[in-house]
Chains A and B, each alone.
Chain A
């Protein structure tokens, strides 16, 4: 259930990056991509240095072949990792704690509350630390020139932060109890509704998945870089599953861009 087919990885990368551009501001996405490029180059350069298999040696480094195959394999692996990073980046932007609560709330309310508060905790802590630091600066905490003075300022800021987070935890617990958390007969409210459109998308995703997993299971999407890059014409099943994968990967971006166009159109009419 694993493939390094270059087309699959290219489709995945294209889908992930176009979705990132659809949901976020261009400058922030470009900042992310800049970091991916750095990782990309690192991986693409590292693979030919550690893997010397392949029928096309380009040159020999300390008695080991640096081959075209391992170079291309490195590039494909780099694309794969960048695609994974981009997908997780979009996951972080799209799946908010509200959605996690909605999805897991009925299965396990405990797990979902732990998950969402844990996910919320770190950014909250960071924001509070910044607040405490600026407040400390305002009352002259970090003014001392000496090393020990600065350490003491930092320690008092940390102590304030710990106190605050403990208090916050207790307050959260009390507040949840007051609102009737885990009482019997409690109902949920969520803004999500399962519409006919959702059903259509779900059926499409399941159908595409079925095709892709069939192709993976029968080995139609196998691709070998070593010892020689297999440039064979793909079979019928491989072509169908590649098309399904392309649609699957582009689906989020297409839906998002379609909604954006609709939104702009409606706004113009107001």
Chain B
């Protein structure tokens, strides 16, 4: 009897949570149906690339399940340098999400990244944080510098160069010296 009540309470809580927070279910085709604006001469654009060279350099530390070319590109390029039209209010995160949808690149994040919520990118293209040792994860550079804020909090400007890079050593191996020497 008690267990039934517990089950009912959880069910009601789930339904309420679904109503309050809003659940959006999309089919796979719907999700990957992403429209990109064409680059016009007068449009504001940024370029973005995604690379995982450090994972290739530290193959001995890499998760064995990822040791195939299907999951780890041989040249380290997940997304080659591409020009994207900047939309109003675009953050680095929303640009990454748009590019990943358009190129059908798998990626997972924590948080919402929308409406003032923050987002943390856990993995791109099956390569996750901690996939290559305990100090590994994804970081981003804008014009060669690491901004040091969350990707949903950084709003790039016209002509910025955004690079998503995978680090196996808290950023030291990709040129981030936030800890000093």
Contacts and interface: CB of A to CB of B under 8 A. Distances in A.
Contact of A60 (B10, B25, B63, B64): B25
B66 A222 contact: no
A60 B27 contact: yes
Given A38-B3, A222-B64, A59 B26 contact: yes
Contact of A227 (B23, B97, B126): B126
Interface in B79-111: 97, 106, 108-109
Contacts of B25: 59-61
Interface in B47-82: 63-66, 71
B20 to A, nearest CB: 13
Interface in A203-243: 219, 222, 224, 226-228, 230
A64 interface: yes
Interface of B is mostly: mixed
A51 to B, nearest CB: 8
Contacts of A62: 22-24
**How many B residues touch the partner, as a band?**
20 to 34
A227 B71 contact: yes
Nearest to A52: B108
B146 interface: no
Given A59-B26, A63-B24, A226 B97 contact: no
A64 B119 CA distance: 12
B178 interface: no
A53 interface: yes
A4 B131 CA distance: 17
B119 to A, nearest CB: 10
B173 to A, nearest CB: 23
A30 to B, nearest CB: 13
Given A35-B3, A64-B108, A226-B65, A57 B24 contact: no
Contacts of B106: 53, 55, 57, 65, 227
Interface string B1-21: 001000100100000000000
B30 interface: yes
Contact of A57 (B10, B22, B28, B66): B28
A222 B65 CA distance: 10
Contacts of A226: 65, 126, 128
Contacts of A35: 3
B122 to A, nearest CB: 8
A187 to B, nearest CB: 48
Contacts of A55: 106, 126
B108 A60 contact: no
A60 B65 contact: no
A181 interface: no
Nearest to A229: B65
B126 A60 contact: no
B133 interface: no
22 contacts: A38-B3, A42-B10, A53-B108, A53-B123, A53-B128, A57-B31, A58-B28, A59-B25, A61-B25, A62-B22, A62-B23, A63-B24, A63-B31, A63-B97, A64-B108, A219-B64, A222-B64, A224-B64, A227-B65, A227-B71, A227-B106, A230-B65
Interface of A: 34-35, 38, 42, 52-53, 55, 57-65, 219, 222, 224, 226-228, 230
